[in-house]
Amino acid sequence: MSILRLTADQVRRCLHGVGYEIFVQSFFDSNGDGIGDLNGLRQKLDYLSDLGITLIWLMPIHPAKTYHKYDVEDYMNIHSDYGTIEDFRHLINECHQRGILIILDLVANHTSYDHPWFQQAQLNSTNSYRDYYIWKDSERVQQLGLNAFNTPDMNAAGLWHKVGPESEHFDWEEFEKKSKIRIDVDKDDRITTKLAASHDEEQSTNKRKIEKLTTNIYYAIFDPRMPDLNYDCERVQDEICRIGRTWLELGVDGFRLDAAKYFYKPPRLKSNISWWTKFRNEMLRINPSVYLIGEVWDLSIRIAPYLRSLDSVFNFELADILISCILNEGNCSSMLNSYIRIINNYKKERHEEIIDAIFLSNHDQNRIMSVFNNNVSKAKMAAALLLTLPGLPFIYYGEEIGMLGMKPHDKYRREPFLWSANQTQGQTTWLEPLYTTISNGCIPLEQQLKDSNSLVNHYKKLIHIRCQSDILLFGLLKLIPTRIRCLCLFEREYNNKSIFIAHNIGYRMQQISIPKIYCQIIYSTNDNNQLITKGQLNLQGFSSIIIDSK
């Protein structure tokens, strides 16, 4: 099947439009097994296109043991619950036909404990895959000392974990089975697993292998089941580049790079940047328009250097500031000044066009409607701010219908999308929702689409206005100072044209002064019924207005 690709101009518009993060398992089920899949997503592309989405980010879709699939066992395949490579090809083509880019979550800081590389690496210290991972008894670790590898972001079980029966996640029966497997490299340098020719021969060495396994101690930041890869090993770098190239050849438009700041241990910023530059150059060989966005959960001053090699990084700092401002009726001018400060930090590192990846929440955070305690007015306000700022705003699936979800349980922030009030065909049922239920005040999409004032239609209106305006897509932000804390006033400027935008995040009506050049209201929370009188306008609480120039 030939892959339809978007032009460079189409890609640029998509990268300033609106992104949409999807956990496939919870989205839409095409075969009745209760688990979302790629064909189910294909069936809902018209919904996403109608909403105005220009880029889809798929959370991990590769074979894995956990429900979340950040423990990849095979980078070259699709999880069987989700479909096949052929299903994925169809999905890419249908996305591109609708002018939608699709990027994959590339989880390359670590692999699954059950990845063939790790299964080989743990056998003995001379195995050819041993250096793919970080081992406590390695010469380098011994030279640097264990303290050099410490990080405040480690998992509750610690950083160093023993391979063998003493490990709580170790499956004795699984080991017996996997110890009979060897890993070969085929003519295309792809890793394949094949059963050993002689069962008896393997059995005879099992005891010696077990003895060696019990002395193995490996490094894992996030979870004992997810051992970290060793990027000081050139072969690891080559493997990940090969994996990236393969998916780009299949038609993928780019990658969300999981845990992008953790790749070198001990942490080394220059090495990280050097690696991502190498990876980018390798990807550009396949797709000159490839889009790379990094998850670097940190302050902007520490995030900025990654823009030397990546197109975008998620703006966690702005998300926190924006949500806090709306939640606590904070100082809007201060919030916008923070945004300008962040962008200025970025510009020090990147002189090309900056695509700021802005968002309200993602799969690792409490859902925004839960943060706002089911306050629809505040959720609409947050959406209006997000969708009128420069960059590429991301929506976490279901955010547009007000789905709920809270810590500490990850899966309950990734509950099934609520399509209708009844268990209709396509509804995913793999998880009984704890938060996103009608009894908790959640309104299904089917019902919201019929209500012009619903949250989803609020999103839809703003997304379409954004995507139809070059000024809102590409324009820079210019702050308009005000002493009224609850008013967020700014202009967007592009090609000598501008748009005026005002948000009132407070409860009370505020009178605002409109610069003379602005007269055409193109969006108002109150359905364009507002009038500009002698350069003045009354803006109701929790409402927004967008005004075009003459």
Are 430 and 321 found together in one domain?
Answer: yes
In DSSP notation, 495-534 reads: TTEEEEEEEE-SSS-EEEE--TTEEEEEEETTTT----BT
Q: What range does the domain containing 59 cover? A: 8-109+234-468
SS (H, E, C) 44-56: CHHHHHHHCCCEE
On whether residue 60 sits in a domain, the answer given is yes
Nearest residue to 548 via CA among 514, 507, 498, 512? 498
99: alpha, beta or left? (left if phi > 0; alpha if psi -120 to 50): left
pLDDT for 183: 31
pLDDT at 540 over 90: yes
pTM of the complete model beyond 0.85: yes
Please give the helix or strand (H or E) that residue 95 lies within, else none.
Answer: helix 85-97
- C-alpha dihedral, 365 to 367 to 370 to 376, nearest 10°: 140
In DSSP notation, 2-33 reads: PPP---HHHHHHHTTS-EEEE-GGGT--SSSS
Lowest mean pLDDT among 113-117, 239-243, 494-498, 531-535: 531-535
- Using a 10 angstrom Cβ sphere, with 0-12 exposed, 13-18 middle and 19 or more buried, the burial of residue 425 is exposed
Using pLDDT thresholds of 50, 70 and 90, give the confidence band for residue 44: very high
pLDDT at 200 over 80: no
pLDDT for 193: 35
Domain boundary among 446, 468, 490: 468
Distances (CA, A) of 189 to 114, 242, 320, 372: 20, 9, 44, 51
Residue 355 to residue 362: CA distance in whole angstroms: 18
Average pLDDT for the chain = 90
- C-alpha dihedral, 59 to 63 to 65 to 66, nearest 10°: 10
Are 409 and 286 found together in one domain?
Answer: yes
Residue 76 to residue 246: CA distance in whole angstroms: 8
Are 241 and 310 found together in one domain?
Answer: yes
pLDDT at 2 over 90: no
pLDDT for 210: 44
Distances (CA, A) of 520 to 73, 156, 469: 55, 56, 14
pLDDT at 451 over 70: yes
pLDDT at 177 over 90: no
What is the domain-level CATH number for residue 160?
3.90.400.10
On whether residue 199 sits in a domain, the answer given is no
On whether residue 340 sits in a domain, the answer given is yes
On whether residue 200 sits in a domain, the answer given is no
- Enumerate the β-bridge partners of residue 103: 57, 254
Are 301 and 424 found together in one domain?
Answer: yes
Using pLDDT thresholds of 50, 70 and 90, give the confidence band for residue 3: confident
Residue 519 to residue 500: CA distance in whole angstroms: 10
Using pLDDT thresholds of 50, 70 and 90, give the confidence band for residue 308: very high
pLDDT for 534: 85
CA geometry: angle 439, 436, 368, nearest 5 deg:
120
pLDDT at 21 over 90: yes
Residue 451 to residue 468: CA distance in whole angstroms: 23
Domain boundary among 468, 497, 527: 468
Are 487 and 460 found together in one domain?
Answer: no
CB neighbour list of residue 302: distance below 8 Å, 6 or more residues apart:
261, 296
Q: Dihedral of CA 132/136/139/144: which sign? A: positive
Distances (CA, A) of 258 to 30, 59, 106, 365, 514: 28, 10, 6, 15, 43
What is the domain-level CATH number for residue 350?
3.20.20.80
Are 277 and 399 found together in one domain?
Answer: yes
Are 63 and 143 found together in one domain?
Answer: no
Identity of the highest mean pLDDT range in 147-156, 254-263, 530-539: 254-263
Are 406 and 526 found together in one domain?
Answer: no
On whether residue 248 sits in a domain, the answer given is yes
Please count the structural domains in the chain: 3
Residues 362-382 have pLDDT tens digits of 999 999 999 999 999 999 999
pLDDT at 274 over 60: yes
pLDDT at 59 over 70: yes
Domain boundary among 451, 468, 485: 468
Give exposure, 207-219, as e/b (b: 16+ Cβ within 10 Å): eeeeeebeebbbb
On whether residue 1 sits in a domain, the answer given is no
pLDDT at 319 over 90: yes
Residues 61-99 have pLDDT tens digits of 999 999 999 999 999 999 999 999 999 999 999 999 999
pLDDT for 530: 73
pLDDT for 205: 52
Using pLDDT thresholds of 50, 70 and 90, give the confidence band for residue 106: very high
pLDDT at 179 over 50: no
Give me the active site residues, please.
258, 295
Are 241 and 384 found together in one domain?
Answer: yes
Q: Can you give the C-alpha Rg of the chain in angstroms?
A: 25
Q: What percent of the chain has pLDDT over 90?
A: 82
The size of the chain, in residues, is 550
pLDDT at 298 over 70: yes
Q: If you average pLDDT over residues 343-351, what whole number do you get? A: 93
Residues 496-509 have pLDDT tens digits of 999 999 999 999 99
On whether residue 203 sits in a domain, the answer given is no
SS (H, E, C) 199-264: HHHHHHHHHHHHHHHCCCEEECCCCCCCCEECCCCHHHHHHHHHHHHHHHHCCCCEEEECCCCCCC
Are 26 and 98 found together in one domain?
Answer: yes
pLDDT at 513 over 60: yes
What is the domain-level CATH number for residue 515?
2.60.40.1180
Which tokens belong to 171?
């499956």
Are 461 and 487 found together in one domain?
Answer: no
Using pLDDT thresholds of 50, 70 and 90, give the confidence band for residue 384: very high
209 compared with 527, residue with greater pLDDT: 527
On whether residue 396 sits in a domain, the answer given is yes
Are 440 and 305 found together in one domain?
Answer: yes
pLDDT at 358 over 50: yes
pLDDT for 215: 66
